[in-house]
């Protein structure tokens, strides 16, 4: 198939999922065309099966904000015709599904390019639910030829907010070969020079991730006399507040900020406990990646996380903001090597058996085939 994929290229899990899906589809013999403002960070290689089409935008003094959505729609339509795309698959509803629908409608006299929208989380639960975007998001769902959501939770949230239920749940995925435990990595010695245990948090440091809760947990671990270090991977708006909190709590020296990293697996592969104290998480991709690396997860019991992390099985779940319990859970894991190993092994099994690329990518392909077939049948009628 010839597949157009649009993602937010630089920021967040939806971009990772869309990019890695494209890479895997290309490895399976499909032609993938990424259409976005810049090359998505996870797309590291372009070749005859993986191409990139940059959305160009003219700037003009009259535009207070550049109309990216329209430039994107124009590029989608151009690429769809030039490359004879079988479908456009957009990740994150706003504005991508609207641009894709516009593109589809603008060329429908010449060809019909079906639009598939994958919902990732805040496009439904936060941004899409805000009254400034709600009607257009509902329109995007209704007009898409197919809609998928990354968790059962997100499907249910979409039904409740948008009264729209024609949604296929296709969960996020990991490549089991890429996400593995790497206990002998030299990075371990660099980050924990005295053999300390490593608590790792990976996110885009937005308020919804509550990264400052990790600082509270680390402070509790230190107060309990456990030798550990907290590693923050990623960057985002809350980062300076987190640094300040660490300073305030007197644990600045126990925390390392490594910033954005191209290869998250380097850090997860040596972690002892993964912390994800988010306020909202439709799936929690980082928790899945951690489990694939045999790392127990301490997280919140919200959104799609309970679908991914087994409480008492592969990690421990708490109410949002309950740092006392999250600290106790972290200490429990740090103090019990066997529990850590058992949780880690079960986590790896859970990730590989339920969420490996082998399992999930064929679900996307089957969905594409169904949507394309239905669109062709409708066009013929
Ligand atoms: O977090 C967002 O605002 C959007 C999105 C992103 O691009 O990071 O995150 C969502 O998609 C991820 C990939 O499907 C999920 O793993 C995250 O749980 C989800 N974030 C939220 O629901 C807050």
Residue 50 forms part of a structural domain: yes
| Residue 274 scores a pLDDT above 80 | yes
| Residue 20 scores a pLDDT above 90 | yes
Question: What mean pLDDT comes out for the span 35-57?
Answer: 93
Structural domains counted in the chain: 2
How far apart are alpha carbons 54 and 39 in whole angstroms? Answer: 7
Please write the tens of the pLDDT for every residue from 289-325. 999 999 999 999 999 999 999 999 999 999 999 999 9
Residue 179 forms part of a structural domain: no
Amino acid 260: pLDDT: 92
Amino acid 126: pLDDT: 80
Q: What ligand 1 atom has the least distance to the C-alpha of 126?
A: 3
Amino acid 122: pLDDT: 84
Do both 223 and 370 map to the same domain? Answer: no
Q: What ligand 1 atom has the least distance to the C-alpha of 151?
A: 14
Question: What mean pLDDT comes out for the span 25-33?
Answer: 97
Amino acid 127: pLDDT: 80
Do both 216 and 341 map to the same domain? Answer: yes
Do both 91 and 236 map to the same domain? Answer: no
- d(CA 81, ligand 1 centre) in Å: 31
Q: What ligand 1 atom has the least distance to the C-alpha of 121?
A: 22
Please write the tens of the pLDDT for every residue from 357-379. 999 999 999 999 999 999 999 88
Question: What residue ranges line ligand 1, CB within 6 angstroms?
Answer: 8, 12-15, 17, 120-122, 150, 172, 208, 280-285
Residue 310 forms part of a structural domain: yes
Amino acid 235: pLDDT: 94
How far apart are alpha carbons 165 and 142 in whole angstroms? Answer: 10
Do both 106 and 149 map to the same domain? Answer: yes
Do both 92 and 112 map to the same domain? Answer: yes
Do both 196 and 242 map to the same domain? Answer: yes
How far apart are alpha carbons 46 and 90 in whole angstroms? Answer: 19
| Residue 63 scores a pLDDT above 90 | no
DSSP state letters, 132-196: TTHHHHHHHHHHSSEEEESSHHHHHHHHHHH-----EE----B-TTTS---TT-HHHHHH-TT--
Per-residue confidence band for 163, with pLDDT thresholds at 50, 70 and 90: very high
Question: What mean pLDDT comes out for the span 61-89?
Answer: 95
**pLDDT above 70 as % of the chain:** 100
User: How confident is the prediction for the chain on average, in pLDDT?
Assistant: 96
| Residue 115 scores a pLDDT above 90 | yes
**φ, ψ (nearest 5 deg) of residue 69:** -55, -40
Please write the tens of the pLDDT for every residue from 142-155. 999 999 999 999 99
Residue 181 forms part of a structural domain: no
Question: What mean pLDDT comes out for the span 195-203?
Answer: 97
How far apart are alpha carbons 76 and 8 in whole angstroms? Answer: 15
E strands within the chain?
2-6, 31-36, 50-54, 87-91, 115-119, 146-149, 168-169, 197-202, 228-233, 255-259, 273-276, 297-300, 315-318
pTM for the predicted model, two decimal places: 0.95
Do both 231 and 316 map to the same domain? Answer: yes
How far apart are alpha carbons 345 and 111 in whole angstroms? Answer: 50
- d(CA 92, ligand 1 centre) in Å: 9
**Is the bond preceding residue 95 a cis peptide, omega within 30 degrees?**
yes
CATH number of the structural domain spanning residue 339:
3.40.50.2000
Per-residue confidence band for 42, with pLDDT thresholds at 50, 70 and 90: confident
Q: What ligand 1 atom has the least distance to the C-alpha of 282?
A: 22
Please write the tens of the pLDDT for every residue from 215-231. 999 999 999 999 999 99
Of 92, 120, 124, the one to substitute when testing ligand 1's pocket (max ligand atoms within 8 A of C-beta) is 120
Of 42, 205, 283, 290, the one to substitute when testing ligand 1's pocket (max ligand atoms within 8 A of C-beta) is 283
Q: What ligand 1 atom has the least distance to the C-alpha of 283?
A: 18
Question: What mean pLDDT comes out for the span 102-106?
Answer: 98
**φ, ψ (nearest 5 deg) of residue 335:** -85, -5
Do both 288 and 194 map to the same domain? Answer: yes
| Residue 128 scores a pLDDT above 80 | no
- d(CA 282, ligand 1 centre) in Å: 6
User: With contact defined as beta carbons under 8 Å apart, do 365 and 310 qualify?
Assistant: no
**Ligand 1 atom 12 nearest Cα:** 13
Q: What angle do CA 173, 177, 183 make, to 5 degrees?
A: 115
Residue 84 forms part of a structural domain: yes
Residue 180 forms part of a structural domain: no
| Residue 123 scores a pLDDT above 90 | no
- d(CA 182, ligand 1 centre) in Å: 26
The parent domain of residue 193 ranges over 186-355
- H/E element, 72: helix 68-82
How far apart are alpha carbons 209 and 188 in whole angstroms? Answer: 25
User: With contact defined as beta carbons under 8 Å apart, do 347 and 291 qualify?
Assistant: yes
C-alpha 124: how far from chain center? 14
Per-residue confidence band for 59, with pLDDT thresholds at 50, 70 and 90: confident
Per-residue confidence band for 98, with pLDDT thresholds at 50, 70 and 90: very high
Q: What ligand 1 atom has the least distance to the C-alpha of 286?
A: 16
How far apart are alpha carbons 166 and 280 in whole angstroms? Answer: 23
Q: What ligand 1 atom has the least distance to the C-alpha of 8?
A: 7
User: With contact defined as beta carbons under 8 Å apart, do 157 and 151 qualify?
Assistant: no
Residue with tokens 């191409």: 51
Do both 117 and 196 map to the same domain? Answer: no
How far apart are alpha carbons 287 and 356 in whole angstroms? Answer: 14
Higher pLDDT, 123 or 375: 375
Do both 327 and 367 map to the same domain? Answer: no
- d(CA 30, ligand 1 centre) in Å: 26
**Ligand 1 atom 21 nearest Cα:** 281
**Ligand 1 atom 3 nearest Cα:** 122
**φ, ψ (nearest 5 deg) of residue 114:** -65, 150
Per-residue confidence band for 255, with pLDDT thresholds at 50, 70 and 90: very high
**Ligand 1 atom 2 nearest Cα:** 122
Residue 178 forms part of a structural domain: no
Do both 346 and 364 map to the same domain? Answer: no
Q: What ligand 1 atom has the least distance to the C-alpha of 91?
A: 7
- d(CA 253, ligand 1 centre) in Å: 30
Residue 213 forms part of a structural domain: yes
Distant-in-sequence, close-in-space partners of 154: CB < 8 Å, separation ≥ 6: 119, 120, 121, 124, 125, 169, 282, 283, 303, 304
Amino acid 8: pLDDT: 93
**pLDDT above 90 as % of the chain:** 90
User: With contact defined as beta carbons under 8 Å apart, do 87 and 117 qualify?
Assistant: no
Per-residue confidence band for 58, with pLDDT thresholds at 50, 70 and 90: confident
**Ligand 1 atom 14 nearest Cα:** 120
Amino acid 10: pLDDT: 81
Do both 327 and 374 map to the same domain? Answer: no
**What does the block give as tokens for 78?**
């151009």
**What does the block give as tokens for 348?**
């790896």
């Amino acid at each position: 198939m010839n597949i157009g994929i649009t993602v937010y290229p630089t920021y967040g899990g939806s971009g990772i999922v869309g990019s890695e899906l494209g890479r895997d589809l290309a490895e399976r013999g499909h032609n993938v065309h990424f259409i976005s403002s810049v090359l998505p960070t996870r797309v590291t290689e372009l070749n005859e099966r993986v191409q990139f089409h940059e959305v160009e935008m003219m700037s003009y003094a009259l535009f207070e904000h550049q109309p990216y959505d329209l430039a994107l729609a124009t590029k989608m339509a151009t690429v769809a015709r030039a490359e004879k795309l079988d479908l456009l698959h957009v990740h994150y509803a706003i504005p991508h599904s609207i641009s894709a629908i516009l593109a589809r409608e603008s060329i429908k006299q010449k060809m019909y390019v079906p639009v598939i929208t994958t919902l990732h989380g805040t496009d439904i639960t936060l941004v899409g639910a805000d009254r400034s975007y709600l009607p257009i998001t509902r329109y995007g769902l209704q007009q898409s030829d197919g809609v998928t959501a990354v968790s059962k939770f997100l499907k249910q949230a979409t039904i409740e907010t948008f009264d729209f239920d024609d949604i296929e749940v296709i969960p996020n995925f990991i490549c089991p070969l890429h996400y593995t435990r790497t206990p002998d990595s030299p990075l371990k010695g660099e980050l924990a020079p005295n053999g300390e245990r490593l608590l790792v948090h990976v996110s885009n440091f937005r308020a919804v991730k509550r990264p400052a809760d990790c600082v509270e947990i680390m402070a509790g671990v230190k107060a309990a006399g456990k030798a550990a270090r907290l590693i923050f991977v990623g960057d985002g708006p809350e980062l300076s507040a987190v640094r300040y909190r660490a300073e305030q709590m007197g644990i600045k020296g126990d925390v390392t900020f490594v910033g954005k990293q191209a290869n998250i697996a380097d850090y997860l592969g040596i972690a002892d406990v993964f912390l994800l104290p988010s306020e909202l998480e439709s799936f929690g991709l980082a928790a899945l990646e951690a489990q694939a690396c045999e790392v127990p997860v301490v997280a919140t019991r919200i959104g799609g996380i309970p679908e991914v992390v087994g409480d008492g099985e592969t990690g421990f779940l708490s109410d949002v903001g309950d740092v006392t319990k999250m600290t106790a859970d972290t200490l429990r894991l740090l103090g019990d090597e066997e529990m850590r190993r058992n949780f880690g092994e079960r986590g790896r099994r859970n990730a590989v058996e339920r969420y490996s690329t082998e399992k999930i990518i064929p679900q996307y392909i089957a969905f594409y085939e169904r949507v394309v077939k239905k669109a062709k049948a409708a066009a013929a009628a």
